[in-house]
Amino acid sequence: MSYENETLLNQENTIYVGNLHENVSKEILYELFVQFTLIRNMRFPIDHLTGKHKGYCLIELYSPLDVEFVTELVQSCKGQLKLFSNSLVVRKSVQSTSDIQEYPVPAILSVHNLIENDSILDQSDVSLTAQNDAEDDSIDDDPAYIKKCLKQVKSIFKQFGELVHDPIVMSASSSNGAFPKRYINVQYKKFEQADKALNAMNGTLILNKHIQVVYALKDPQNSKSNARHGDEIERYLENQAMENNILH
């Protein structure tokens, strides 16, 4: 096992370990994680100006099954796996370098009730079935109104920060066969921008409709999961990206 092999890590077999206390060393991390599974490689970035680590480590294991086992094991500890009083943040490391440099965290908001009355309070039986852009006229009997909604959302929400891309219409259908419900997703480059938009726009009027603005579901296709973007771990990763000049 190499502590600092300069070869590229196999991202499918690699875990991210973050929220490291300043006293944590790569040797300590190795001794901890080797108890769970075999370790192939480690990357423990050091700030050459301060001589201190950058708050995270990448650990390459031997297979995706090892990654799944370790991440699930740590998650089952529910924050109780600590080093020097810091709870370790452990997740799969699957993004490419270019993806991380461009948009390291998903600051995605969902805008409900604008296209139709699709209150999130009534969506316990809703699952995602399609994603469409403004040019897809099949999403509604009145595509002109859909485009008008998208134009209004873009015009208003871009005032709170830079958008990653134009707003996207999401189409969902309910299990009881009701007419498909639609809402709009808006993605910002930073959570600070998304927070401002959410706080300012939730409950306001657009095109004479009271809208609901919430953070988007992480896995809208999983009806059993209510986890949404904007949680503590994603915000921590964003802070790490800014500290390491990955996000500006």
User: For 11-94, which CATH superfamily applies?
Assistant: RRM (RNA recognition motif) domain (3.30.70.330)
Buried b (16+ CB within 10 A) or exposed e, 149-173: bbebbbebbbebbebeeebbbbbbb
pLDDT of residue 83: 92
**pLDDT at res. 180:** 46
From CA 3, how far away is CA 99, in angstroms rounded? Answer: 25
| Predicted local distance difference test score (pLDDT) of residue 201 | 97
C-alpha separations of 1 from 10, 122, 241 in Å: 14, 52, 27
β-partners of residue 214 are 110
DSSP letter for each residue of the chain = -BSS--SPP-GGGEEEEE---TT--HHHHHHHHTTTS---EEE--B-TTT-SB-SEEEEE-SSHHHHHHHHHHHHHTTT--EETTEEPEEEE----HHHHHH-SS-EEEEEESSSS---GGG-TTEEEEEEE-TT-GGG-S-HHHHHHHHHHHHHHHGGGS-BSSS-EEEEEEETT-PPPEEEEEEEESSHHHHHHHHHHHTT-EETTEE-EEEEPBS-TT-TT---BSS-HHHHHHHHHHHHTTS--
Q: How far apart are CA 108 and CA 128, in angstroms?
A: 16
Pick the CATH number of 107-215 from 3.30.43.10, 3.40.50.720, 3.40.920.10, 3.30.70.330: 3.30.70.330
Mean pLDDT by 10 residues, the chain (248 residues): 54 88 92 91 83 88 90 84 89 55 68 73 36 38 83 96 88 49 88 96 94 86 76 80 65
Q: Which residues are within 8 A (CB) of 110 and not within 5 positions of it... i.e. 6 or more apart?
A: 120, 170, 183, 184, 185, 186, 213, 214, 215, 216, 217
Extents of the domains making up the chain: 11-94, 107-215
Show the tokens assigned to 79: 């924050």
Check residue 136 and give its pLDDT: 38
pLDDT for 149 equals 93
Evaluate whether 11-94 and 107-215 have a shared fold.
yes
Radius of gyration of the chain (CA): 21
Q: Which structure tokens are listed for 77?
A: 């500890």
CB atoms within 10 A of CB 123: 17
